[in-house]
Amino acid sequence: MRLDRRQNRGMSAPWSMVLASFLFATMGVCVKLASVHYGSGEIVFYRSLTGALMIGLATRWQGGTLRTSLPAMHAWRAITGVTALCLWFYAIGNLPLATAMTLNYSSSVWMAMFLMGGAMMLGTQRVDNRLLLTVLLGFAGVALILRPTIEQNQLWHGLIGLLSGVISATAYLQVTSLGRAGEPEYRIVFYFSLGGIVAGGLLTFMFGWHGHTWAGIGLLLAVGVLATVAQMLMTRAYRIGKPLVNASLQYLGIAFSFLYGVLLFDDRVTWMAVLGMLLIVAAGLRAAQLRTAVAKAAPSSLD
C-alpha cells in the first residue's frame, strides 16, 4: 500500500523528535486548560477519538491498511500506554506543567532499569555500577522535584506523575518492538487511540460527563490533533532513529514546558525543581547511553 511504502520517507528522526517534543509541550498547555472543565478520562477519550478518526481517514485516503498480524502486541502497548496517559493528564491538571512533564520523562531511567534487569535475569549482564549511579542520580532529581509538591500538599499528584513515567517506560519499549516487527507508525498510534477511547469512555462513565462550551470543544480538539501528530512523529523517531539521539532531543519537551509554565501559568521557579530537572535529564541521557550499549551486546534478550 502507498502508506506503507511511504513510511520511511519524510522528516528525519532528529527533527521528528524535536517537533514532537514541542507539540507534546503545547498539548500539555491545552490539557491543563481543559482540566478546568473536564476530567482526565474525558480528555483521554476525546483525544483518542480525534486521533483514531484522523488516522483512519488518512489511512483510507492514502490507500493504507489498519489490519495487523500483531494484535497481542498492540493490546499490551495500548494497555500500558493508555494507563500512563491517564495518569499523566491527571498530573498535568494538578501540578506545574514542567513538573508533570519531567516526572513523565523520567521514563528513560526506568527503561534502562528494565532492560538491564532483564539482561541480568537472563544471565547476560552483571550488575553495572554505572547503572546504579545513574539510577541514584535520577532518583535524586525526582526527590528534588517532589519536595516542593510535599510543601504544597501535592505529594499524591507528584506520585501519580512519577507512576506515569514508570509505566511509560514499558510503553516505549513496546513501541520499539512493534517498529522492529515492521509495524508502521500510523498503525501503532491507531490501536493506541482505540485503547484510549475504551479506557477514557469507561472512566468517564464511572465519574460522569461534563457539558461543553465552544472554548472547551476547541481545547479538546487541539489536544487530540496535537497529540496525534506528536505521537506519529515520536513513534517514527523511535522506529527509525538512534536511541541516544531520541532521548537527548525528547528532553527539549521539559524546556518547552518550563517556558510555557512560567509565561502562561506563572509557575513558581525554585532552585530545587530546576536542579531536579537537570539531574533527571542527565540521568536520562546517561541511561540512554547504557541502554544502547546493552542492546548492542545482547539484542535478542532485549526485544
Instruction: Report the 3 state secondary structure along 280-296.
Output: HHHHHHHHHHHHHHHHH
pLDDT at 71: 93
More confident residue, 117 or 282: 282
The percent of residues above 70 in pLDDT, for the chain, comes to 82
Average of per-residue pLDDT across 5-33? 83
Span of 23-37, 70-84, 114-128, 178-192 with lowest mean pLDDT: 114-128
Phi and psi at residue 270, in whole multiples of 5°? -120, 150
Give the pLDDT band (50/70/90) at residue 240.
Answer: confident
Average of per-residue pLDDT across 257-270? 87
* Residue 184 grid cell: 508502521
Mark out the alpha helices in the chain (DSSP H runs). Answer: 2-5, 13-34, 40-61, 71-94, 97-105, 107-121, 129-151, 155-180, 185-207, 214-240, 243-250, 252-265, 271-297, 299-302
Contact 67/245 with Cβ under 8 angstroms?
Answer: no
- Other C-beta atoms within 10 Å of 126: how many? 9
pLDDT exceeds 80 at position 169: yes
Rounded to two decimals, what is the model's pTM?
0.83
pLDDT at 4: 47
* Residue 146 grid cell: 517532589
Contact 145/99 with Cβ under 8 angstroms?
Answer: yes
Domain boundaries, the chain: 9-302
pLDDT exceeds 50 at position 23: yes
Residue indicated by cell numbers 522492529: 180
What's the mean per-residue pLDDT of the chain? 83
pLDDT at 22: 95
In sign, the C-alpha dihedral spanning 231, 223, 85, 289 is: positive
More confident residue, 297 or 144: 144
Give the pLDDT band (50/70/90) at residue 182.
Answer: confident
More confident residue, 162 or 5: 162
pLDDT at 300: 40
Contact 261/47 with Cβ under 8 angstroms?
Answer: no
* Residue 228 grid cell: 496525534
* Residue 147 grid cell: 519536595
Nearest to 28 by CA among 101, 128, 94, 117: 101
